[in-house]
């Protein structure tokens, strides 16, 4: 009986350690590092982008993660399965596809990031928790 109690206590302790480790890598490592809000393309500013970087040491799967302009509440993009390697960046363009940056686009026919009054971008993980936020 005493042996069982010790085993169960140890098991709970180990599960706790694993959960702590997981939540640590998920929440803190991936950040919005840049918003290129003043696009060079006239009017449509299709070349605007938000840059997201993995600053941690573990790969992160972005499946189900969401990037959104919360100033207007749109647009938002839900990521497909995509492994963001440590030290690597992706960009979500307003309406351009650049495979070297992951090939992500909001597909917006209009400019997304306001040039005169700043907007705020927020990144959520697949559980809907806010991971990173950036204004400019
Ligand atoms: Ca803009
Ligand atoms: Ca906006």
**Running along the chain, 136 residues long, what does each successive block of 10 average in pLDDT?**
68 59 61 98 97 96 98 98 97 98 98 96 96 96
Task: Name the DSSP letter for residue 70.
Answer: T
Neighbours of 125 (CB within 10 A): 17
Which pLDDT score is estimated for 109? 97
CA of 30 to the centre of ligand 1 (A): 24
CA of 116 to the centre of ligand 1 (A): 8
Which pLDDT score is estimated for 129? 95
Name the E strands within 37-75.
49-54, 60-61, 66-69
54: left (phi over 0), alpha (psi -120 to 50) or beta: beta
CA of 75 to the centre of ligand 2 (A): 8
CA of 82 to the centre of ligand 1 (A): 27
Domain made up of 2-135: CATH architecture: Sandwich (2.60)
Which pLDDT score is estimated for 77? 98
Task: Name the DSSP letter for residue 44.
Answer: T
- pTM for this structure? 0.80
Closest-lying ligand to the alpha carbon of 39?
1
């Amino acid at each position: 009986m005493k042996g069982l109690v010790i085993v169960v206590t140890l098991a709970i302790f180990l599960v706790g350690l694993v959960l702590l480790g997981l939540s640590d890598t998920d929440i803190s490592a991936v950040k919005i590092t840049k918003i290129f809000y003043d696009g060079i393309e006239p009017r449509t500013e299709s070349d605007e982008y938000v840059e997201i970087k993995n600053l941690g040491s573990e790969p992160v799967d972005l499946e189900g993660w969401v990037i959104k302009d919360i100033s207007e509440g749109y647009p938002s993009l839900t990521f497909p399965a995509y492994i963001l390697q440590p030290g690597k960046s992706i960009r979500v363009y307003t309406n351009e596809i650049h495979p070297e940056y992951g090939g992500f686009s909001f597909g917006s026919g209009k400019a997304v990031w306001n040039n005169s009054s700043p907007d705020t971008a927020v990144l959520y993980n697949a559980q809907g928790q806010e991971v990173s936020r950036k204004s400019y």
